[in-house]
Amino acid sequence: MKFRTFIVPLIAAAGLVLILGLGFLGGLNLRNPLYLLEKGGQSLPMALQFVPKQSSVVASVLVRPDRLASLWEYLAAPKLRQSVQQDVQAIERSLLANTGLTYATDIQPWIGDEITVALVSPDLDQNADNGYRPGYLVVLTCRDSQAAQAQLELFWQNRAITGAALTFEDFSGSRLIYAQSSTPQIETKVESDLEQFATTLVADRFLLVANHPEVLRQALMAAQAADANLQTDPRYKTALQLLPSQRVGLLTINLPAVAHWLHHRPLPKALSQALNHLGDQDGTVDWGLMSVRLTRQGMMADMAWVAAGGQQLSPSSPPAQDWSSLARYLPDSLSLAVLGTDLATLGKELAPFLDTLFPDRGAMLVPTMVDQTFGPGAAAAILAGATQDYALGVDAPLGATTPDWFLLRPQGESMTTAVQRLTELVRQQGLGVGTVEIQGQPTTVWTRLSLNRQDRQSGQPLAITAEVAGLQTEVGDYGAIATSADALDTLLSRSQAAAQYPDWWLLTEQFRQPNHGYIHIDWSQVQNSLGQHLPRFRLWQAAAQPGLKHLQQVTLARYGRTQQVQTGSLFFQLSNS
């Protein structure tokens, strides 16, 4: 079995949950409250007893796949049903690539209501000198164990007919079956994953499939140890208590292990350096649980992130804040929109997640963006005393080398001080400071001056050109800093017009109130940037394309913190169009 046969199920298991919400958009109404929307699927994944608690990512789909596919197709608009069928077939081909199996004939007759897929280890032998070989585990529940056993025997018989040398191993009371490798020691790294494909049937209820027999051994040992599996992990129990019971999926993410998998390096060192640079003494999170449920507009993932071992978070309760007064300034065209309080802490809260994707620089993305515009120290000047409400908008069109952005903060002493300090810094960087009126509003402009020597080459007199680095003015009750005149003009226009909100704003009614604000992403724009800066994302994007093509918007709401857990919700707006 090829490597992609195991990477694709890991993506598809999580992606399948995301895809399920699509059908609700075309046909669901109050007269058709289907049970998955009202009640969800199986309450908890039973297969977590086989998943070692140090696993990087674990995704559980808690509804039988054919029921989900039927629901998706049934609720899609008639003109889209053929496209839905093609997407379902594409998912099946990815999941069952190179197995010779079909879902309807070989799996549907016996499969139960749970599929759990886990990245058990970023590197099975923990030896970077001979390369990295992740260990993947798939656990399927069986509602007809005899049919499952018969299908398993048939699969291995067909493998034997093709010349594979099978190995039968009794381990911890279960029979492991796998193809004999020409280099059986894991340390030597076999060339073909197909040679190491392994299965076992446990207690006539669980079918375990892995890309190496060592993964099955780890799974069986985890099930028999008192505190070695995810089901008994205190982090899992703590997080689960804070999440809704209605769900169709459950996802766990171990941030240090994911960083090891993505970048072949541990997260804690890089993250610690980034937080020290930010002057943060607060604890950080490193493990999270997401409970996935369906809504009429898409999919909601309620999240609980647990503090890293030996650390405590700073408790916080969300303010009773009406974010609509700031949301009215946000145009639909933004790639990223952020509403919140205490801008200085935004990077710290996001650091564990950004640094998992972008080591050493994830926690510094926002400060770096500001410093690149105005010079070193600009971010610190803007963030100083920024403990009030704010709106941050980022526009990153395809092909742009640097994004345009704007920041709105209430007028006051801290804003005045920030602008004065920023003006001093830009002068030190050699930028010019002037004024201009935009829609009748006096505006400070910071410019870079340069000589256009191409004019001399063409016989024209030398001309001095001015490049706008940034602008600052008052917009309603707020002070605004922007990197382009267009962005500032848009803000001023929206302040003078009747209140209007971006299209995604209506979706915020689904989040808990009050909260610490929202982070909104236009997926169609951001996915291009992810492909440029995270090469492995291109593999995931290709594998999960049947689902990702329906993803439109992603919105995050941040709730409160205790000393141990940080909560929030992540909403995926989906479309069948």
Closest CA to 140 of 108, 172, 188: 108
Rounded CA gap, 17 and 250, in Å? 9
pLDDT of amino acid 49: 97
CA 251 to CA 472: how far, in whole Å? 43
List phi, psi (to 5°) of 322.
Answer: -95, 110
> What is the predicted pLDDT for the residue at 527?
79
45 pLDDT above the threshold of 60: yes
155-165 average pLDDT score: 91
Over residues 343-368, the pLDDT tens digits come to 777 777 887 887 787 776 555 566 67
Peptide bond before residue 514 is cis, with ω within 30 degrees of 0: yes
Residue type, 437: E
Enter the tokens of residue 336.
């990223």
Amino acid at 50: F
Q: Residue 20, Cα to own-chain centre: how many angstroms?
A: 17
pLDDT band at 171 (very low <50, low <70, confident <90, very high): very high
How far is 354 from 177, CA to CA, in rounded Å? 40
Q: Which amino acid is at 68?
A: L
Question: 564, 306 in Cβ contact below 8 A?
Answer: yes
Confidence (pLDDT) at 468: 87
pLDDT at 513 over 70: yes
Q: Which residue has the higher pLDDT, 549 or 420?
A: 420
**In sequence order, what are the beta bridge partners of 337?**
393, 520
In angstroms, the Cα distances linking 322 to 327, 517, 519 are 9, 9, 15
| pLDDT of 172 | 93
Least confident of 64-78, 186-200, 392-406, 478-492: 186-200
Q: How far is CA 470 from CA 121, 366, 473, in A?
A: 47, 16, 11
Specify the range with the lowest mean pLDDT, choosing from 25-29, 329-333, 520-524. 25-29
CA atoms of 414 and 390, how far apart (whole Å): 13
**What confidence score (pLDDT) does residue 194 get?**
44
Residue 536: the pLDDT is: 63
Q: What is the pLDDT of residue 455?
A: 54
For the stretch 69-85, pLDDT in tens is 776 776 677 888 888 78
If you search the block for the tokens 């072949």, which residue do you land on? 264
In 414-527, DSSP assigns E strands to: 432-438, 441-452, 463-475, 478-482, 517-522
Lowest mean pLDDT among 183-192, 227-236, 361-370, 523-532: 183-192
pTM: 0.85
Residue 129: both structure tokens together:
């000198």
- DSSP letters for 334-373: -SEEEEEE-GGGHHHHHHHHHHHHSTTTGGGHHHHHHHHH
* Percent of the chain predicted with pLDDT > 70: 79
Model confidence pLDDT, tens digit, residues 294-344: 877 788 999 999 999 889 998 988 887 889 999 999 999 899 999 998 877
In whole angstroms, how far apart are CA 300 and each of 56, 246, 306, 507, 509? 22, 11, 19, 11, 12
**C-beta of residue 353 within 8 angstroms of C-beta of residue 255:** yes
Whether pLDDT at 37 is above 80: no
Grouping H, G, I as helix, E, B as strand and the rest as coil, residue 454 is helix
Q: What local confidence, expressed as pLDDT, does residue 183 receive?
A: 46
- What CA–CA distances, in Å, run from 274 to 88, 281, 505, 519? 42, 12, 32, 21
pLDDT in tens, 123-137: 888 777 777 889 999
SS3 33: coil
d(CA 149, CA 206): 11
Share of the chain above pLDDT 90, in %: 44
| Beta-bridge mates of residue 548 | none
| DSSP one-letter code for 229 | B
Report which listed range, 32-41, 145-154, 311-320, is most confident. Answer: 145-154
Could you please report the per-residue DSSP string of 116-178?
A: EEEEEESSTT--GGG----EEEEEEEES-HHHHHHHHHHHHHHHHHTT--EEEEEETTEEEEE
Token pair listed for 378: 């600009």
Q: How many CB atoms lie within 10 A of CB 485?
A: 14
Mean pLDDT along residues 266-271: 50
Q: Quote the pLDDT of residue 453.
A: 62
- Measure Cα distances from 119 to 1, 8, 359 in Å: 16, 11, 20
Query: For residues 274 and 466, what is the distance between their CA atoms, to the nearest angstrom?
Result: 35
Indicate if the pLDDT at residue 138 is higher than 60. yes
What's the confidence (pLDDT) of residue 74? 67
Report the pLDDT value the prediction gives residue 276, as an integer from 0 to 100. Answer: 44
Average pLDDT, the chain: 81
**Residues 48-76, mean pLDDT to the nearest whole number:** 86
CB 338 within 8 A of CB 557: no
Q: What is the pLDDT of residue 576?
A: 58
d(CA 433, CA 418): 15
**What integer is the mean pLDDT of 139-150?**
96
Q: What is the average pLDDT across 526-535? A: 68
Q: For residue 570, which amino acid is it?
A: L
Q: What is the mean pLDDT of residues 389-418?
A: 84
pLDDT of residue 43: 92
Q: In terms of pLDDT, which residue wins out, 184 or 91? A: 91
Question: What is the model's pLDDT at position 490?
Answer: 92
- Identify the pLDDT of residue 399: 61
For residues 279-306, give the mean pLDDT. Answer: 85
pLDDT exceeds cutoff 60 at 577: no
The candidate with the shortest Cα–Cα distance to 316, out of 2, 33, 144, 567, is 567
Better-predicted residue by pLDDT, 170 or 89 = 170
